[in-house]
Chains A and B, each alone.
Chain A
Amino acid sequence: MRYALLVQGGPYSHQASHSALRFAEAVLARGHHLATVFFYHDGVYNAARLSAPPQDEPHLLDAWRRLHEDHGTELLVCIAAGLRRGLLDEREAARHGKQGHSLEAPFELTGLGQLIEVGRSHDRLVTFSP
Chain B
Amino acid sequence: MILHILNRSPSASRVFQQTLDAMGPEDRLLLIEDAVQGALPQLVRYFEPVIGRLFALREDLASRGLDGRCDSRVMVVDVDGFVTLTEEADKTVSWF
Q: What is the number of contacts between chain A and chain B, taking CB atoms within 8 Å? A: 45
**Interface majority SS on B: helix, strand, loop or mixed?**
helix
How far apart are the CA atoms of A27 and B7 in the complex, in Å?
19
Given the complex, which residues of A lie within 8 Å of B84, measured CB to CB? 30
Q: Does A116 contact B (CB under 8 A)?
A: no
Given the complex, which residues of B lie within 8 Å of A125, measured CB to CB? 91-92
- Contact status A19-B92, CB under 8 Å: no
How far apart are the CA atoms of A23 and B91 in the complex, in Å?
16
Which size bracket describes the interface of A in this complex? Answer: 20 to 34
Q: Does A94 contact B (CB under 8 A)?
A: no
Stretch at the interface among B19-27, B45-53, B65-73, B75-83: B75-83
Report A3 CB to chain B, min CB distance, Å: 8
Given A1-B87, A22-B59, CB of A126 within 8 Å of CB of B79: no
Given A124-B92, A125-B91, CB of A23 within 8 Å of CB of B7: no
- Contact status A32-B83, CB under 8 Å: yes
Given the complex, which residues of B lie within 8 Å of A102, measured CB to CB? none
Given the complex, which residues of A lie within 8 Å of B83, measured CB to CB? 23, 26-27, 30, 32
With A1-B87, A26-B80, A126-B5 known, 19 other A-B pairs at CB within 8 A are A15-B33, A19-B7, A19-B32, A19-B33, A22-B79, A23-B79, A23-B83, A26-B79, A26-B83, A30-B80, A30-B83, A30-B84, A126-B94, A127-B92, A127-B93, A128-B94, A129-B7, A129-B94, A129-B96
Question: Please, could you name 24 A-B residue pairs with CB atoms under 8 Å apart, sorted by A?
Answer: A1-B87, A15-B7, A19-B7, A19-B32, A19-B33, A19-B60, A22-B59, A23-B83, A25-B79, A26-B83, A27-B83, A29-B80, A30-B83, A30-B87, A32-B83, A124-B86, A124-B87, A125-B92, A127-B92, A127-B93, A127-B94, A128-B94, A129-B7, A129-B94
A: residues with CB less than 8 A from B are 1, 3, 15-16, 19, 22-23, 25-27, 29-30, 32, 124-130
Question: Shortest 6 CB-CB distances between A and B: which pairs?
Answer: A127-B94, A129-B96, A26-B79, A26-B83, A15-B33, A126-B92
